Amino acid sequence: MRQIFLDTETTGLSAANGDRVIEIGCVELINRKLTRNNKHFYLNAERESHEDALKVHGISSEFLKDKPKFPEVVEEFLEFCAGAEIIIHNAPFDLSFLNKELELVGKPSFKGFVASVTDTLVMAKEMYPGKRNSLDSLCDRLGVDNSGRTLHGALLDAELLADVYINLTRGQDALLIDGTTGQSADGTVIQIDLSNFKLDVLLANDQETAAHEDVLSQIDKASKGKTVWLATPQPA
């Protein structure tokens, strides 16, 4: 599964009123592992950033004047994103700007080039109702180090979002369910014979059982009663 975490910086808050994209950052995740095959563009929007926007990202028009314009990078950008699940924090904002940029070069909307778009702000609001769910707030809540984020930057924010997403979805390392394959240091897939392994069964004590039930209760509350195990009839 290929996922791309995407963020933009813009000259202001309204694509409809003429504000433009000045930075795009994309971070690739495959099978829940960061690949470091990222994509990053600074863009010359040929217009000044609003004062409030400049305070957020600190990217001046002077810095951008020798950078490419969106039409010069659009094919490379779309090729990188093609067919992937795109993950964005507050997706409607970024999509409105990307769609406007694509419209200006005569192309269809962004969703037509990708498999799907996931909004982590929606995910966070469902998991933490009534709490602040900005990217910085989620970093603090989930233990993601954002100490280097003095100003917003598209690539840095996309990298932080990848860490936040991994934590939101319960950690990066997947369990090896069937126990039959592994991977050597050089990346070669190897077979693992578990037929001769005998594992002791350690039962949970009362304290561990109570702690487990408490975690299940918290998950059920966060999902608003949508947990599968409570909806599934238990064996007699």
Whether residue 132 is found in the same domain as residue 197: no
Does one domain contain both 142 and 43?
yes
Residue 236 has a pLDDT of 55
Is 89 among the residues known to form the active site?
Answer: no
pLDDT of amino acid 85: 97
Q: Does any domain span residue 88? A: yes
Same domain assignment for residues 162 and 186: no
Same domain, 94 and 131: yes
Residue 227 has pLDDT above 60, yes or no: yes
Q: How many residues are listed for the chain in this entry? A: 236
What is the per-residue pLDDT across 38-97, written as a single tens digit (0 to 9) for each? 999 999 999 999 999 999 899 999 999 999 999 999 999 999 999 999 999 999 999 999
Question: Average pLDDT, whole number, for the chain?
Answer: 86
**Residue 208, SS3 per DSSP:** helix
Residue 174 inside a domain? The answer is no
Give the pair of three-digit tokens for residue 204: 């949970």
Number of domains in the chain: 2
92 with 127, same domain?
yes
Q: Which of 57, 89, 152, 212 is catalytic?
A: 152
Query: In this predicted structure, what is the pLDDT of residue 217?
Result: 82
Q: Indicate whether 197 and 137 sit together in one domain.
A: no
Show the domain range for 187: 181-231
pTM for this entry? 0.71
CATH number at residue 73: 3.30.420.10
Let me know if residue 42 belongs to a domain.
yes
- 14 and 84 assigned to the same domain: yes
CA distances from 40 to 91, 169, 220 (A): 18, 25, 39
pLDDT tens-digit readout, 129-147: 999 999 999 999 999 988 8
Note whether 119 and 226 are same-domain residues: no
pLDDT, position 172: 44
Q: Is residue 236 a part of any domain in this protein?
A: no
pLDDT in tens, 171-197: 544 333 344 444 444 555 555 565 666
* Separation CA 98–CA 115 (nearest Å): 16
Residue range 110-125: average pLDDT? 97
